[in-house]
């Protein structure tokens, strides 16, 4: 009897919920149809539809490269049998624990500038697409990898105006070919401070910690710590201006900065999202925007130039909640972001000619895939901003394009990376049947039981056999403009992966994998509408206009 009574009670509540859901959907649907008819609004996106398996598989593979690149005591984070603890004494000469963090590429260096960029992009991907990551069990790995970097960045900032930006000597490191687990060479530290400033790396680190503070919002103490460091680092970066590759010339050989204005705007934008403090918004829309933003001049998004990313991030405010059209600074960011998007759509009159014959965005011989993947990530974000805000079209010199056009572009770049290219090769190691076998990567090229050190390890670089260890998830440099690729360990231009490549490919694969439905084909659920609506409501005053998963 109790079971039957309980069942009737559950059914009663279920009927109430369903009835309310149907009524709410009917209201939303009617309002939307009126809006669509009168304003030409785009369909409100429903929940993620059919998840494309190839993108899910690729995402799971791409996420693994972070584990390969981890430094320090791996413990439960050890995923690969050929990886072990390494660099446990990094930072000890300064009485700091800099054992964590990630190795930059196929070498064993910790370069703070691109590592911080890796963290910022990974944070952005989680904030926008964390719900989709969770569906395929990739949210926890993404957060774990992010924290592995942010733990390091916190420790690298021991004083208000001091930041350690590099661990290791590139000349020593690149004079060795050895596994990280056995390296015994000197690991000197490089710092920036008031007398040797490094605005771009301090600002990028501030952006990384500010964005991560949103990711870890549920952990109040950790989030507060991240935000405190971010604020201090931004003040340091802005007050003591100077390029780190000028004040510390030896770093310019590997990650030379072309300017720090973009990082200042990028960091302030993230701090505004993390704090709601309007002084950060005024910073990017006022004089500093006029000096550094290069409004009206689209730029490529990369570890060195954050302008396009800043434009898209600030456009988010104009899509959701900030309808102040008198803020010319925000409108200028939005217009420039639109120009970036127009340049990416292949049949747009503003389309860039920087492409291969098969349609891959191609900007640089070195690490060619960074720019197309980063561009596709931004296009995926922008298309979702358009959809969720009911923005029907993008105007490109009189021609109109839909959010689906941006998503089509984003997927075309992802598909190229995954094997839809003239070489029929996947540039994501471990995905598909044909991927690079001779990745320029020390750990992957040397067996775990090999007894080699700095110099005798070079024999493994020159061997004709494929790598004994698969660098799963590595996104290699990619093809030349003529769409050829030489799979050779000595070919670092094409065959070397980077950690920041992994961040942008994770962001891209998290975005287009969910094919979204609209009310034209199927009414969205109450839950999805509430989620979208709550994500669009930015609380005024000092409250944070938080990012939402789309």
Active site residues: 440
How many secondary structure helices (H) and strands (E) does the chain include? 22, 7
Question: Between the CA atoms of 204, 238, 217 and 221, what dihedral angle is there, to the nearest 10 degrees?
Answer: 110
If we measure between CA atoms, which residue out of 498, 506, 546 comes closest to residue 142? 506
Cα–Cα distance for residue pair 531/536, rounded to 1 Å: 9
Cα–Cα distance for residue pair 259/240, rounded to 1 Å: 14
Q: Scan for tokens 């996104």, then name that residue.
A: 475
> Cα dist. 133→7, 355, 488, 512 in Å?
35, 30, 33, 12
Distance, C-alpha 173 to centroid of its chain: 27
Q: Scan for tokens 């105006």, then name that residue.
A: 161
Question: Between the CA atoms of 87, 92, 95 and 97, what dihedral angle is there, to the nearest 10 degrees?
Answer: 0
Q: Scan for tokens 């790995």, then name that residue.
A: 141
Strand partners, 189: 167
How many residues does this entry show for the chain?
550
Cα–Cα distance for residue pair 448/81, rounded to 1 Å: 8
Cα–Cα distance for residue pair 286/280, rounded to 1 Å: 10
E strands, 355-456, in order: 394-396, 399-401
Rg (CA), the chain: 24
Under 8 Å between Cβ of 198 and 161: no
E strands, 209-317, in order: none
Q: What b-and-e string marks burial along 18-50, b requiring 16 or more CB atoms within 10 Å of the CB? A: eeeeeeebeebeeebeeebeeeebbbbbbbbee
404 token code pair: 């689906």
Cα–Cα distance for residue pair 136/128, rounded to 1 Å: 15
E strands, 18-109, in order: 45-51
Q: Where are the alpha helices (DSSP H) in 396-435?
A: 403-417
Cα–Cα distance for residue pair 111/190, rounded to 1 Å: 10
Burial class (CB in 10 A: 0-12, 13-18, 19+), 195: exposed
CB under 8 Å to 185, separation ≥6 — which residues?
A: 169, 172, 173, 176, 454
* Residue 264: other Cβ atoms inside 10 A: 29
- Classify 517 as helix, strand or coil: strand
Cα–Cα distance for residue pair 295/424, rounded to 1 Å: 39
């Amino acid at each position: 009897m109790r079971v039957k009574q309980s069942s009737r009670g559950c059914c009663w509540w279920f009927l109430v919920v369903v009835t309310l859901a149907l009524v709410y959907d009917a209201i939303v649907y009617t309002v939307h149809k009126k809006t669509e008819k009168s304003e030409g609004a785009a369909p409100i996106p429903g929940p993620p539809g059919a998840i494309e398996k190839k993108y899910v598989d690729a995402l799971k593979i791409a996420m693994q490269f972070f584990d390969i690149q981890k430094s320090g005591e791996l413990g439960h984070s050890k995923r690969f049998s050929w990886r072990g603890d390494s660099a446990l004494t990094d930072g000890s000469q300064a009485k700091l624990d800099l054992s964590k963090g990630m190795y930059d590429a196929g070498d064993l260096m910790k370069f703070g500038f691109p590592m911080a960029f890796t963290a910022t992009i990974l944070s952005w991907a989680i904030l926008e697409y964390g719900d989709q990551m969770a569906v395929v069990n990739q949210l926890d790995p993404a957060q774990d990898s992010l924290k592995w970097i942010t733990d390091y960045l916190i420790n690298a900032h021991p004083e208000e105006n001091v930041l350690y930006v590099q661990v290791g000597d590139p000349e020593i490191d690149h004079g060795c070919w050895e596994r990280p687990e056995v390296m015994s060479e000197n690991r000197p530290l490089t710092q920036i401070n008031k007398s040797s400033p490094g605005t771009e790396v301090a600002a990028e680190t501030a952006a990384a910690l500010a964005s991560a503070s949103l990711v870890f919002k549920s952990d109040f103490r950790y989030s507060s710590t991240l935000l405190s460091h971010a604020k201090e680092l931004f003040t340091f970066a802005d007050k003591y201006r100077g390029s780190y590759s000028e004040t510390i010339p030896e770093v310019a050989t590997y990650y030379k900065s072309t300017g720090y204005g973009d990082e200042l705007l990028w960091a302030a934008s993230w701090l505004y999202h993390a704090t709601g403090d309007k002084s950060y918004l005024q910073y990017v829309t006022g004089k500093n925007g006029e000096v550094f933003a290069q409004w009206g001049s689209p730029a490529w998004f990369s570890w060195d130039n954050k302008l396009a990313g800043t434009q898209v991030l600030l456009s988010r405010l104009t899509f959701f909640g900030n309808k102040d059209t008198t803020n010319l600074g925000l409108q200028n960011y939005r217009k420039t972001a639109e120009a970036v998007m127009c340049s990416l759509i292949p049949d747009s009159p503003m389309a860039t000619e920087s492409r291969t014959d098969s349609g891959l965005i191609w900007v640089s011989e070195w690490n060619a895939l960074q720019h197309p993947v980063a561009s596709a990530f931004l296009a995926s974000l922008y298309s979702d901003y358009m959809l969720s805000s009911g923005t029907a079209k993008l105007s490109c010199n009189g021609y109109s394009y839909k959010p689906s056009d941006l998503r089509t572009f984003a997927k075309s770049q992802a598909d190229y990376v995954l094997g839809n290219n003239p070489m029929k090769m996947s540039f994501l190691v471990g995905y598909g049947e044909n991927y690079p076998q001779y990745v320029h990567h020390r750990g992957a090229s040397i067996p775990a039981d090999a007894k080699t050190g700095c110099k005798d390890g070079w024999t493994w670089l020159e061997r004709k056999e494929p790598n004994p260890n698969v660098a799963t998830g590595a996104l290699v440099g990619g093809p030349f403009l003529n769409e050829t690729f030489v799979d050779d360990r000595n070919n670092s231009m094409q065959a070397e992966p980077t950690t920041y490549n992994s961040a942008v490919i994770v962001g891209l694969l998290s975005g287009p994998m969910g094919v979204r439905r609209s009310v034209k084909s199927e009414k969205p659920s109450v839950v999805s509408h509430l989620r979208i609506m709550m994500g669009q409501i930015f609380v005024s005053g000092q409250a944070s206009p938080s990012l939402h998963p789309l």
